[in-house]
């Protein structure tokens, strides 16, 4: 069972001016036989708050996977990718590449997502869009690869191409 944190990045959500719909949607989409949502939180679009929560969940709580939702677009307050990169130890470029490729089959706006995927310690961190639809579609694009990725992060010695 992999422990997951879902971090919603939203000024309005943090201030109680908007209900968080994308975060709970991500929790519902995760296979309960494989993933357990161990933590969820809403933080404002502030790089320091985002980075601090990612660091705490990775370093202190040892979560296997952190999914962020929100702050990946082009507006001036969208700083989730920068905050994520600030805590990154390694990049996983194939994950956002796959999400954008899948999204482009649905809408040309997918190319505007700046989300990243990184590793900190043994935690995989993936940025997803803030809309429930975008978050759902992006997670669906990469979900089949997540258990294998997380097993590798845990140190599984199994060969990747073995049958």
Chain segment 52-97, per-residue pLDDT in tens: 999 999 999 999 999 999 999 999 999 999 999 999 999 999 999 9
List, for residues 27-44, the tens digit of each pLDDT value. 999 999 999 999 999 999
Percent helix, strand, coil in the chain, to 5, is 45, 20, 35
Residue 159 counted as domain residue: no
pLDDT-based confidence at 118, cuts 50/70/90?
very high
Residue 24 counted as domain residue: yes
Tokens of 15: 């201030």
CA distances from 17 to 8, 20, 44, 79, 129 (A): 14, 10, 12, 20, 19
Range of the domain at 144: 2-153
Residue 86 counted as domain residue: yes
Complete DSSP assignment for 67-119: EEES--SSSTT--HHHHHHHH-SEE-THHHHHHHHHHHTT-GGGGG----EEE
pLDDT of 22 higher than 80:
yes
CATH of the domain at 36: 3.40.980.10
């Amino acid at each position: 069972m992999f422990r997951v944190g879902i971090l919603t990045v939203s000024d309005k959500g943090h201030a109680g001016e908007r209900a968080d719909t994308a975060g709970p949607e991500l929790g519902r989409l995760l296979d309960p036989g494989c993933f357990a949502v161990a933590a969820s939180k809403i933080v404002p679009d502030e790089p320091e708050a985002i980075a601090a929560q990612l660091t705490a969940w990775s370093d202190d709580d040892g979560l296997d996977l952190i999914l962020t939702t929100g702050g990946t677009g082009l507006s001036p307050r969208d700083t989730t990718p920068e905050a994520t990169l600030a805590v990154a130890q390694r990049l996983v470029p194939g994950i956002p590449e796959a999400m954008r490729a899948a999204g482009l089959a649905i809408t040309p706006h997918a190319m505007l997502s700046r989300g990243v995927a990184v590793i900190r310690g043994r935690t995989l961190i993936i940025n997803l869009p803030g809309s429930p639809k975008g978050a759902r579609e992006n997670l669906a694009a990469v979900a089949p690869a997540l258990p294998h990725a997380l097993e590798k992060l845990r140190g599984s010695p199994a060969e990747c191409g073995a049958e």
